[in-house]
A and B are shown apart, each in its own frame.
Chain A
Amino acid sequence: MATQHSRSAARLMMAPAVILLLGWMLVPLSMTVLFSFKKYLPMRGGDLGWVGFDNYVRFVSSSAFWPSVQATLLIVGGVLLITVVLGVVLALLLDQPMWGQGIVRILVIAPFFVMPTVSALVWKNMFMDPVNGLLAHVWKFFGAAPVEWLSQASMQSIILIVSWQWLPFATLILLTAVQSLDSEQLEAAEMDGAPVFKRFWYIILPHLARAITVVVLIQTIFLLSIFAEIFVTTQGSFGTKTLTYLIFQRVLESQNVGLGSAGGVYAIILANIVAIFLMRIVGKNLDA
């Protein structure tokens, strides 16, 4: 349905969005690349000239670099695993007939509405505090010694907090997909004598494949750049320094823009590797 006229109109109407996003991507990006080749200390002399690849070498050879990549991937992977698995279970549960389904659904979605700063603060103080936190009370109730969550099990704690925020999203998408499953197909499988587990494995799970892809794609986009949860809880200590946070510290806390920018370029490369990988999958799945 396209005439020359509508095609040129279409190009014109895409232009603002494309130009804005292109500018948003290219302008700061090229500045970052520029800074990354400079010794640039805003508080201590400003632009101190070109240094070639020094910043890149220093950033990677810093002892904090690889642990930060590892922490980033661990958080993204951990949260994805938890939210997808629990999301599938919850979606199947919520799809069953029950009383008050609407209210349960609201309860389950609610964490998504909570801003990350609030959820991090609430979890840190009111639940994970080793003295007054609710979890400490529970542990004491069972006669166990309270855990210092954010230092002894820092990674697990952060993954828990972030998973709590993203579980509603995964559940909802998966629930929508479960609801679109043709129940006759399941009944046919039941008639064929397929046990519950096989029905899940061969019929339900393949049906959810596209929804799971969407969950993984969208969550990865957001999880790669989580910031507030770490900023508010551990401030990057106890092995929770993600790449994002490491760069943030280099730029803002040590005021070393050159070094931070080199880190930024690394982060962009990492994000692109993940992006290409994801786009491959999603591109295929998007056609349907």
Chain B
Amino acid sequence: MGSITLSKVTKSFGEAQVIPPLDLEINDGEFVVFVGPSGCGKSTLLRLIAGLEDVSSGEISIDGVDATSLAPAKRKLAMVFQSYALYPHMSVKKNIAFPLKMAGMDPAEQEKRIANAAKVLNLTDYIDRRPGQLSGGQRQRVAIGRAIVREPEAFLFDEPLSNLDAALRVNMRAEISELHQQLATTMIYVTHDQVEAMTMADKIVVLRAGHIEQVGSPLELYERPRNLFVAGFIGSPKMNLISGAEAAKHDAATIGIRPEHITLSKESGTWAGKVGLAEHLGSDTFSRIHSDELGEITVRTIGDFAIKHGDTVYMTPDMSKLHRFDADGLAIR
């Protein structure tokens, strides 16, 4: 069991309120991602759940039991830190064994769990090394190993991949997702990278300045962003946001259209513009098109769409995928 409920939780550091009153429901077995720009309070929220910080007010319950003032160790949660926080003076094995030793577990059972975790995480060959002798990816795995042997109610990850290089990040992303499939344990995962959020989450929580902007599945957020912030934050490249006369035509203060929902043509279309920069990625081409009425518009086309700087092109948005926002930035449905 690993359901977590936050009700009216707030957190202030001195005068500054980092988390305004916040409610959130996390169900057992869910993979929940907190995403938002850096400094928005993601880590703080995670640490409140972990018990590493006190809430200023409100209540946190785990599995229906009030855990607000429970010590971190008593919450049955395991955390993987951004810096991995491995114990540098202990071998990989000792690192993984530490929580078991603290729990006073029977040594035979310890051995079994460590061996199992090492196998799952491909650490068997390194089991006697110190963290200092491991690569970034291996350290990451040790940190995860230390978390899984405890068989916690939920895992907490704080930007676990941000210290890895791009290629490794993609691999580890898949490994963590796979781990979630295997264990079916609740995972709360913090990141500022919306790609990680989209690819891994069952449920995404978009945060800004401590506020929850929207909660939903990746597709929900992609298809029905509740406001301008979410619209701009989810999706890559970013949604084109257009205000002014063109938006007024659609009875909105701002309209948004994603780059992949615009068709490009050299002959005719709704909007005309000049190609600024065309990035050919092979599979896709992203073009930045300058239009006098609309400003800069990004458009995705197929990889071999022949286009170059200075060309005049025409853009046609898919009207069914058009997003409209009112003056307060809220989506109009």
Is the C-beta of B54 less than 8 angstroms from some C-beta in chain A? yes
Can you list 11 A-B contacts with CB-CB less than 8 angstroms, sorted by A residue number? A1-B47, A1-B52, A1-B53, A2-B53, A3-B51, A3-B52, A3-B53, A3-B54, A4-B54, A4-B69, A5-B71
Within the assembled complex, what's the spacing in Å between the Cα atoms of A182 and B92?
A: 36
Within the assembled complex, what's the spacing in Å between the Cα atoms of A155 and B216?
A: 82
6 extra A-B contacts, CB within 8 A, seeds A2-B53, A3-B51, A3-B54: A1-B47, A1-B52, A1-B53, A3-B52, A4-B54, A4-B69
Within the assembled complex, what's the spacing in Å between the Cα atoms of A3 and B52?
A: 6
Classify chain A: how many residues form its interface, as a range. Answer: under 10
- Give the chain B neighbours of A4 by CB distance below 8 A: 54, 69
- Give the chain A neighbours of B54 by CB distance below 8 A: 3-4
Within the assembled complex, what's the spacing in Å between the Cα atoms of A2 and B11?
A: 12
* A contact face: mostly helix, strand, loop, or mixed: loop
- Give the chain B neighbours of A2 by CB distance below 8 A: 53
Interface bits B50-67 vs A (CB < 8 Å: 1, else 0): 011110000000000000
- Give the chain B neighbours of A5 by CB distance below 8 A: 71
A-B pairs with lowest CB-CB distance, top 5: A3-B54, A4-B54, A3-B53, A1-B52, A5-B71
Q: Give the size of the chain B interface in residues (CB under 8 angstroms).
A: 7
- Give the chain A neighbours of B51 by CB distance below 8 A: 3
Closest to A2 in B: B53
Within the assembled complex, what's the spacing in Å between the Cα atoms of A65 and B47?
A: 61
- Give the chain A neighbours of B52 by CB distance below 8 A: 1, 3
Interface residues of A in 1-17 (CB under 8 A from B): 1-5
Interface bits B36-52 vs A (CB < 8 Å: 1, else 0): 00000000000100011
Within the assembled complex, what's the spacing in Å between the Cα atoms of A4 and B69?
A: 9
Within the assembled complex, what's the spacing in Å between the Cα atoms of A4 and B68?
A: 12
- Give the chain B neighbours of A1 by CB distance below 8 A: 47, 52-53
Interface bits A1-45 vs B (CB < 8 Å: 1, else 0): 111110000000000000000000000000000000000000000
Closest to B48 in A: A3
- Give the chain A neighbours of B53 by CB distance below 8 A: 1-3
Closest to A1 in B: B52
Q: How far is the CB of B69 from chain A (nearest CB, A)?
A: 8
Closest to A5 in B: B71
- Give the chain A neighbours of B71 by CB distance below 8 A: 5
- Give the chain A neighbours of B47 by CB distance below 8 A: 1
Within the assembled complex, what's the spacing in Å between the Cα atoms of A5 and B53?
A: 10
Closest to A7 in B: B54
Interface bits B110-122 vs A (CB < 8 Å: 1, else 0): 0000000000000
Within the assembled complex, what's the spacing in Å between the Cα atoms of A1 and B47?
A: 9
Within the assembled complex, what's the spacing in Å between the Cα atoms of A1 and B54?
A: 9
Within the assembled complex, what's the spacing in Å between the Cα atoms of A1 and B52?
A: 6
Interface residues of B in 67-87 (CB under 8 A from A): 69, 71
- Give the chain A neighbours of B69 by CB distance below 8 A: 4
Within the assembled complex, what's the spacing in Å between the Cα atoms of A284 and B51?
A: 34
- Give the chain B neighbours of A3 by CB distance below 8 A: 51-54
Q: How far is the CB of B50 from chain A (nearest CB, A)?
A: 10
Within the assembled complex, what's the spacing in Å between the Cα atoms of A57 and B6?
A: 70
Within the assembled complex, what's the spacing in Å between the Cα atoms of A5 and B71?
A: 8
Within the assembled complex, what's the spacing in Å between the Cα atoms of A5 and B75?
A: 15
Q: How far is the CB of B35 from chain A (nearest CB, A)?
A: 23
Closest to B55 in A: A3
Q: How far is the CB of A9 from chain B (nearest CB, A)?
A: 11
